[in-house]
Structure 1
Amino acid sequence: MSTHNNYNALENTPSAVSIHQQNGVGAHKVYKRRWLMLTVVCLLNIVNAAQWIQYAPIADTVKRYYDVSSTWVNMLSQIFMILYIPFGFMASWALDTRGLRYACVLGAVLNAVGAFIKYMANFVEITPSADPNIMFAVVMVGQFFAAAAQPFILGAPTMLAAVWFSDSERATANMLASVANPIGIAAANVLSPAIVDTTEPWTINTMHWMMMIPAGIVAVITIVLMRAKPPTPPSLSAATPSDPFFVGLKKVATNKSYLLLLVSFGVGLGIFNALSTLLEQIVHPQGYTDDDAGIFGAALIGAGLVGAGISGPLIDKTKAYRPVLRGCFILATASFVGFALSARPDEYVLVAVTCGLIGFFCFPLLPTCLELAVEVTYPVSEGTSASFMWMAGQALGVVFIFIMDAMRTGAEEDMTNALWFAVGVVGATLIPVFLFKGEYRRLNMERETKANASSGLNGDLHI
């Protein structure tokens, strides 16, 4: 059963006063420590995402240093998407049956181990018979462990929001935890080109140990501080038992609204992952440097954080999930068209602006879709509904990268055709987006229960 079942008894202290006691529903409180749990999950997402994308902004340098093709450089990112499929099932089961702490600690340890193994490639490099291909193989093993960690980490925000936060804070909490992953991407987009000198490719080794240290620190923080749930539930839905794991699997597989959302989110995330992986390779043939690509990636993420920061509180206040979903998809499609048109030589400002617009309209879709998935599948566990959303996005990301990689043209490996392919795919996704008309089951249950309550106090007690 989900971890938000069978909460501990209410603490009998003045600081733990009940704020909702409605027709036997029970006490619903939120605790200040929820922000500490949120911080831990955010840090986990940042360090894991940085490991995922750290090679993309310096793809040409990686090719030269390890003597490998662009396809193998892309595989350093693709392995995260490929492994999400088998490990996504494990993460869904772990979140649903073992709880938030178990999943987060496991993800943190795997991520730290992966960073350490990549650092060990440095010692292969200093041996007299150093083979760049062997060094690359060691790095790929490290990426395997970091990739295995990702499903446990990405699946955590939705459950964290449901288990630790009130119904008036869930979307904002999910937004903050979910966009921490892109913050890690932005950090890697800026730091990797700054650390790695294109004239001295061996500085990739410096990048490895600089990634290893924060990964290890965050692992220790997670082990020490992370908790599965608060002493008492923060909302009525958190106090309600979720469906057993395999019952939940059957429900999500037969829920038409969820499947439409799955396709919409999966395609959107898949194209975003492909763009993040290939951005340097898209702009490089147009005369832009690794540093330029890093700035474009940072613009995409930075503007995205602003968009997500606006949408989270807005959704918490209005519950306008469907309007945000449709509006953001329309404007994201238009932004992709703008990027495809502007990705030309000597259009630095336009490329940066259109990257920013893509981020601004794509990022709000993360918490919006994940929260909608919980709404339309309730009472399926949040870990189950979110994990399969992420799984679809990662699987499609692999497909899109392979397709776009195969669409290179000319000696310069121009990727203009690949960009227009991405535009077409995103545009086609508007069909399932507008067909989606799912019921807000969780919200409706909470509203009906509160409306039928004969007594109780409004608001949340923050302790």
Structure 2
Amino acid sequence: MDEDDVTVPFLQQESINNASASSGSDEPHSGSCASPEPTDRIRIYKSRWYILLTFSLLSLAQAAIWNTWGPLAQSGYDIFGWQNKDIALLTNWGPISYIVADIPFSWMMDVKGCRLACVITAFFCFAGTGLRCITLKKPYSTWLINIGQAINGAAGPVVMAAPPVLSSIWFPSHQRFTATAITSLAAVFGSTISPLIGPLIVQTNTTNISTSVIKPQVIVSIEEEKSEMNALLRLEFIFCAVVFIMVLVYFPDKPPSPPSASAAAPRLEFKNGFFRLIKNQRFWLVCLVYGVVSGITNGWLSVLYINLKPLNISQYDAGMMIFYGGCFGCLGAFAVARLTDVLANHMRKFILALNSLSVFSLIWFQLIFMEFLHVDLVSVYASVVISLTLLMSGIPLLFELSCEVAFPVAEGITNGILTMASNIATLLFLGILMIPNISTSWMNWVMLVSDCITIPALLTLKDDFSRLQLDNVEI
């Protein structure tokens, strides 16, 4: 089962003790999910790849369910008689439930272990999708779909916050960025493929002024549209059932021995760690950046079709923009993560470069939207895809950066608060859209200005990575 077996030298053990002592009067503890008990043996287990696969599928499922309805807004109008505010509420259940469940799940991951947190998360996805399959009859369907979205949203804290936790306790330091990238980007990919799969399965009853250059518009009857919607919901339910079984079969809290020196180091007790984070100014700078890159971007993407309707962009094309942007974003993030595994001390500079370039692509999009530049489908595609690629490429680095600036606070509470900031940003963004008769042009300005704000925040942040230094102690 072991791939490698390395004895931790005295110097590293001494560094572990020094890291614990640096916390002052805060008492470290070693019983959390994020910190395997100190040992003189460092081991790497092949089973980490099963953990990586299972959690990635869970993340993909939860994110795809959350983003079901924005890309199918037109079908929601046809089948259920919804309005823009109904679509915004369904999407907003994600951040609403997240905020309620975040602290309990963060505590669970750090104190009770990852298995319990992931089993409950998988069950929430299973139950949330099951409720949506009961009936499509109005008004019961609207209630069941909203309840299902709320339950699925409660699974968000583990999906969003656990990637750096799992990479810390299962992967060696030279694979940690890549592992975080894969598990965190699985959620991105889930929210990316849903705009593709949904419109592919569910044809609309009404037509759009625009004709897609990729897929011609097909007009079907309401009954056919309902049947296709039912098929999509059942497909998502079956997928969640399979993932739930995978988590039940095998998903231990942690490996028998830690994979790195920092994984063996004790973390602060949950309460002390929480209050230490509150006073950590560097951590809040990372929260600001992540809130924009993840939170506002997610809100903007989830209603992209509504945003692009004034340009006569079809539901299918809006979904394809998200799909291509997400795919290239995942590839970019993986490449940047692999590079950062080698040049870890430069992670802040990589994030700064990506965000700076994304500002220019968002300016390009805004100029097209305002019709200062010629409006054509190819230009809209290019500006959206490039913006998403650049922004998403830095997301895994922000997870790891938050752990570095917060260490020795446990990874669960660290990323729980980090991702709560993201969900609050999404909640506020989508909450504005629920105001009756409000236009959509404000969304692009919020996206652009928020991205600009991240630049001075990243310039202010200092490079001081104590967790990396612990792992890089020379043998």
Partner of 2:416: 387
Distance 1:278 1:236 in 2: 44
Secondary structure of residue in 2 paired with 1:120: coil
* Aligned residue among 34, 38, 41 for 2:55: 41
Give the 3 Å change call, closer, same or farther, for CA 255–438 of structure 1 in structure 2: farther
Partner of 1:186: 192
How far is 1:443 from its partner?
Answer: 1.1
Partner of 2:361: 335
Give the 3 Å change call, closer, same or farther, for CA 161–348 of structure 1 in structure 2: same
* Aligned residue among 96, 99, 113 for 1:99: 113
Partner of 1:375: 404
Give unmatched runs, 5+ long, in structure 2.
14-39, 206-221
* Aligned residue among 403, 426, 433 for 1:397: 426
Partner AA of 2:419 in structure 1: W
Partner of 1:10: none
Partner AA of 2:51 in structure 1: M
How far is 1:178 from its partner?
Answer: 0.4
Give the 3 Å change call, closer, same or farther, for CA 356–418 of structure 1 in structure 2: same
Secondary structure of residue in 2 paired with 1:251: helix
How far is 1:445 from its partner?
Answer: 2.5
Secondary structure of residue in 2 paired with 1:18: strand
How far is 1:418 from its partner?
Answer: 2.5
Distance 2:3 2:273 in 1: 33
How far is 1:401 from its partner?
Answer: 2.0
Could you tell me the TM-score, scaled by structure 1's length?
0.88
Distance 2:261 2:168 in 1: 10
How far is 1:341 from its partner?
Answer: 2.2
Q: Deviations over 1:401-459 (max 9, x none)?
A: 233565976xxx5x233212321122122221211115211012333xx33xxxx5xxx
Partner of 1:80: 94
Distance 2:96 2:266 in 1: 32
Give the 3 Å change call, closer, same or farther, for CA 408–235 of structure 1 in structure 2: farther
* Aligned residue among 351, 355, 358 for 1:325: 351
List aligned pairs for 1:359-438, cutoff 5 A. Answer: 359-403=388-432, 406=435, 413=439, 415-438=440-463
Secondary structure of residue in 2 paired with 1:398: helix
Distance 2:434 2:446 in 1: 11
CA contact (8 A) 2:3 2:46 kept: no
Distance 2:48 2:108 in 1: 21
Give unmatched runs, 5+ long, in structure 1.
1-12, 126-131, 457-463
Q: Deviations over 1:346-383 (max 9, x none)?
A: 51111111122112111122111110111111111111
List aligned pairs for 1:50-89, cutoff 5 A. Answer: 50-89=64-103
Secondary structure of residue in 1 paired with 2:42: coil
CA contact (8 A) 2:85 2:435 kept: no
Partner of 1:114: 128
Matching of residue 169 in structure 1 with residue 175 in structure 2: yes
Partner of 1:243: 268
Distance 1:267 1:404 in 2: 17
CA contact (8 A) 1:103 1:153 kept: no
Secondary structure of residue in 1 paired with 2:267: coil
List aligned pairs for 1:127-146, cutoff 5 A. Answer: 132-146=138-152
Secondary structure of residue in 1 paired with 2:5: coil
* Aligned residue among 32, 43, 50 for 2:46: 32
CA contact (8 A) 1:405 1:418 kept: no
How far is 1:17 from its partner?
Answer: 6.3
Distance 1:18 1:149 in 2: 35
CA contact (8 A) 1:340 1:416 kept: no
Partner AA of 1:401 in structure 2: L
CA contact (8 A) 1:304 1:363 kept: yes
Give the 3 Å change call, closer, same or farther, for CA 334–406 of structure 1 in structure 2: farther
Secondary structure of residue in 2 paired with 1:121: coil
Distance 2:313 2:92 in 1: 23
Instruction: Give the count of matched residue pairs.
Output: 425
Distance 2:155 2:403 in 1: 23
Partner AA of 1:322 in structure 2: R
CA contact (8 A) 1:47 1:184 kept: yes
| Aligned-CA RMSD value | 1.8
Matching of residue 211 in structure 1 with residue 236 in structure 2: yes
Give the 3 Å change call, closer, same or farther, for CA 38–17 of structure 1 in structure 2: closer
CA contact (8 A) 2:68 2:198 kept: yes
Q: Deviations over 1:314-336 (max 9, x none)?
A: 11100111111211111122222
Matching of residue 357 in structure 1 with residue 386 in structure 2: yes
Give the 3 Å change call, closer, same or farther, for CA 260–17 of structure 1 in structure 2: closer
Distance 1:18 1:39 in 2: 23
Q: What stretches of structure 1 move > 4 A for 4+ residues in a row? A: 404-409
Give the 3 Å change call, closer, same or farther, for CA 339–84 of structure 1 in structure 2: same
Partner of 1:296: 321
Give the 3 Å change call, closer, same or farther, for CA 133–431 of structure 1 in structure 2: farther
* Aligned residue among 90, 110, 132 for 2:104: 90
Distance 1:329 1:134 in 2: 44
Partner AA of 2:237 in structure 1: M
Partner AA of 2:10 in structure 1: N
CA contact (8 A) 1:58 1:290 kept: yes
Identity of aligned residues (%): 24
* Aligned residue among 314, 324, 342 for 2:339: 314
How far is 1:233 from its partner?
Answer: 0.4
Matching of residue 261 in structure 1 with residue 261 in structure 2: no
How far is 1:145 from its partner?
Answer: 1.0
